[in-house]
Every structure is written in structure tokens, then in C-alpha cells.
Amino acid sequence: GDSVTQTEGLVTLTKGLPVMLNCTYQTTYSPFLFWYVQHLNEAPKLLLKSSTDNKRTEHQGFYATLHKSSSSFHLQKSSVQLSDSALYFCALGTGGYKVVFGSGTRLLVSP
């Protein structure tokens, strides 16, 4: 079945440093990939989405490129801020109705 793997449960960084959160997926269908962010006690919100191979998508300083050859959609930012501390979820859609979420990566940014 369809699946999403996020290898890091927790990433801790000092502000100003770059970050990459890993996301790989498995599906036999044409994939739609999403990154959602969930701040403490808030609802998850869409950060990025893509279904186009090898095209970088950006929002609020975060960016990701869907690589179908490696089944990856890693989330990156060149300089993290304190306000980026949150849970980040990678999610997969395949044209049906159910979205499959990864297990999430908690990003903690320290001063």
C-alpha cells in the first residue's frame, strides 16, 4: 500500500542554520505530495504541495522539490527562525480520497 516515511523524529537547530527534513514515499500511482506544519496547540496548515517532477515549490522561505526518480520530497529552508519550531508532516495523495501522512518531524529551533 501507499506509505510515507519521515526518518527524523526530532531535529534541533540553532536559529540561522539551514535545515532539511526528509520525506520519501511509496506508491504505484501518480503522487501528490504535501508538507503540513502544526504549531503547538494549533491546527495543521498546508505549507507546500507538488505533483510536478523536478520542479521546486516555495512558500514562506521553505522549499521542496518532488523527485519521482528517488520518491522524495524533502523540505528545506536556508535559515531557520525561532518561529519555525513546530511539527512538520509530509503527506501523500494518489488521486483517490485518502491522504497518507508520515509520522512527523518535530523541529526545535534554539536562540
Partner 1 sequence: NSKVIQTPRYLVKGQGQKAKMRCIPEKGHPVVFWYQQNKNNEFKFLINFQNQEVLQQIDMTEKRFSAECPSNSPCSLEIQSSEAGDSALYLCASSLVGGNYAEQFFGPGTRLTVL
Distances (CA, A) of 13 to 6, 24, 50, 62, 82: 18, 22, 26, 15, 10
**Interaction of residue 73 with partner 1, rule CB under 8 A:** no
Give whichever of 96 and 111 is closer to partner 1, judged by the CB atom: 96
Give whichever of 45 and 55 is closer to partner 1, judged by the CB atom: 45
- Is there a contact between 69 and 96 (Cβ–Cβ < 8 Å)? no
**Interaction of residue 42 with partner 1, rule CB under 8 A:** yes
Q: Which one of residues 43, 56, 85, 111 is an interface residue with partner 1 (CB under 8 A)? A: 43
**36 - beta bridge partners?**
46, 89
Q: How far apart are CA 76 and CA 98, in angstroms?
A: 26
How many amino acids of this chain bind partner 1 (CB under 8 A)? 26
**Interaction of residue 94 with partner 1, rule CB under 8 A:** yes
Min. distance of Cβ 80 from partner 1 in angstroms?
20
**Interaction of residue 5 with partner 1, rule CB under 8 A:** no
